[in-house]
Amino acid sequence: MSRQRRRHEVPAHSPRSAVVTGAARGIGEQIARELVGRGYRVLVTDLDEAAAQATATRIGAAAGTACDVTDPAASAAAVARARELAPLGAWVSNAGVGFDGTVTDIAEARVRALVEVNLLGPVWGARAAVTAFREQTETGTARGGEIGVTVSLSGLGPVPGLSVYAASKAGALSVVSALASEVRREGIGVHAVCPDGVNTELLRSMTPGGQGQALVRSGVLVTPEQVATALVGMFGTGRVYRTLPAWRGALLRLTALAPGPALRLEPAMRALGERRARSLRP
């Protein structure tokens, strides 16, 4: 029987599973909740297995388990676990670290973690997911699927004080854009959401009063719910990425085109962020 014939035999409304990394709390939890609401059998994953399981129970997900996104084998194992629930329908790379610091001052261990979690994590996840999607197409179990990545507005331009973090996110966005073209003929959608600052533990963990945190706070703080809706809302469409809010994305692209003139505004933006941080203190 031909591959094309087998694809047509896949039931249109078969249940599908989904994996969300870094989903015990914050943005990841909201993405998992959104996918549950859309009928996916969601596997909540996190470094903290107990927290992943607790979140899965709280939001009505199928299961929770540990996953270290820096380990390719762990991503493959998460996919295998999800496929025990139902054919894989979506993989979302949300796990990330947000260490701030200048290029010359940030600790070496943090540089490596930023690259391994924020850039390589989505690479290993995408490879595991695409492998599963292809196997499912070959066997007639299901066709295609969706890959989502939580990136950042900082991936669109230079962000002093968050230089390595921004570079890791720019790399992740580049991977998403290229992969979307590489697999689109297989019915696999690849999408990224690039939000401005989100008031989560990642933002709060940055150096209080530091350059990076101040610049993030100078923008528009969006909610985890907005990020989740934007990312999952791209599933089933040809859209590769979107920024939240759109005007901030345009502004960051301008700084990338003309970093010299644009970054002269950095002291004013930092002062604005510091004032906003003070206004939020009790």
Tens digits of residue pLDDT in 44-76: 999 999 999 999 999 999 999 999 999 999 999
Quick check: 262 pLDDT over 80? no
Q: What is the mean pLDDT of residues 112-135?
A: 98
The span from the CA of 151 to the CA of 169, in Å, is 6
The span from the CA of 260 to the CA of 235, in Å, is 37
Q: Hey, what amino acid is at 139?
A: T
User: Helix H segments across the chain?
Assistant: 3-8, 26-37, 49-59, 72-85, 108-113, 121-139, 163-183, 201-204, 211-217, 224-233, 246-257, 259-262, 266-280
CB atoms within 10 A of CB 123: 18
In the chain, pLDDT over 70 holds for what percent of residues?
75
pLDDT at position 277: 43
Q: Where are the domains of the chain?
A: 3-205+222-256
Q: What is the mean pLDDT of residues 88-117?
A: 96
Quick check: 105 pLDDT over 90? yes
Residues 18, 91 contacting (CB under 8 angstroms): yes
Q: pLDDT-derived band of residue 159, with 50, 70 and 90 as boundaries?
A: confident
The distance in angstroms from the start CA to the end CA of the chain is 67
pLDDT at position 232: 98
SS3 46: strand
Instruction: Supply 119's token pair.
Output: 């850039």
Quick check: 4 pLDDT over 80? no
User: Which class does domain 3-205+222-256 fall in?
Assistant: alpha beta
Tens digits of residue pLDDT in 179-200: 999 999 999 999 999 998 776 5
pLDDT at position 203: 57
pTM of the model: 0.82
